[in-house]
Amino acid sequence: MRFDLLSWLNVDLTLVRSTFEEIPMAAYPALAGYGRAGVHEGLQGQGGLFLAHDMAGMLKLEPGMRVLDLGCGVGTTALYLAKTLGVHVVGVDEEEPGSLKRRISEAGLEGLVTFVRAEARNLPFLPGTFDAIFSMNAFFYFGTDKAYPAYLLTFLKAGGEVVIGSPCYREELQADTPEEFLLEYPACLAVHSPGWWRSHFAQTGTVEVLRSEVHPLGAAFWSDRVRFLLESQRPADMPPAMGAMVHAIIRMLNRDEDGFVTHFTLHARKRA
């Protein structure tokens, strides 16, 4: 069923709920305490804590280990990792979220979560600082340069792990790719297939890529996010940029019948 964009400013929630798939909370019992709003709020992009949960589950970490949350935004994933795994998380982003100190205190995570304002290509850490690197819905903005994986991996200990979750195309873009799939153009040109990302990390020669594949719910993440946003706020009341993005995603979903636009996860381990 396609969503009628002609009347979307006065969205009918009954139509929203019959059109856009919702990922049931029952599919993620570990997140029951967050509720649906807690899964999505404070996070950019799709997947929310559903994706963060699956990424964290790939890492073999013990309490007290150090994790870099690269492109952490307002710090929601950093707080989640610290609370769930008992690890020390250093969140890095270009802009410091003003509410993070308060949220760390309210969560009782002082000493486990810190924030460093830095550019992803100029990280202020010593080699081998981290046991793991985590990056969700951010890596394609800064990590596609051929030399970047090798640079990033210098901050990871031997035997340490990196996990990335991000929007992707099931296959590489072609000249005849429908323009509805080119979200946030030209940033979409940095969005690649899981196979591309596997090669991107493997070419460093310093990691074993354990997984780089489409997430089983990758396409559903897009639909679920749109449904949450439309249930939370009518399009006419959204900030213009958000409204334009939601409109563009719905156009994409209307055209994408077989999940070409989806999400992937990559998991790699640095060689000893």
Burial of 120-131, coded b for 16+ CB within 10 Å and e otherwise, reads beebeeeeebbb
Percent of the chain with pLDDT over 90: 85
**For residue 202, pLDDT beyond 70:** yes
Chain segment 162-192, per-residue pLDDT in tens: 999 999 999 999 999 999 999 999 999 999 9
Q: pTM for the complete prediction?
A: 0.95
| pLDDT for the residue 1 | 57
Single out the residue of 194, 171, 179, 183 nearest to residue 267, CA to CA: 194
Which tokens in the block code for residue 25? 């909370």
Higher pLDDT, 151 or 41: 151
Domain locations along the chain: 5-270
What kind of architecture, by CATH, is found in domain 5-270? 3-Layer(aba) Sandwich (3.40)
Cα 6 to Cα 10, 109, 110, 180, 233: the distances in Å are: 9, 46, 49, 16, 18
Cα(228)–Cα(181) distance, integer angstroms: 21
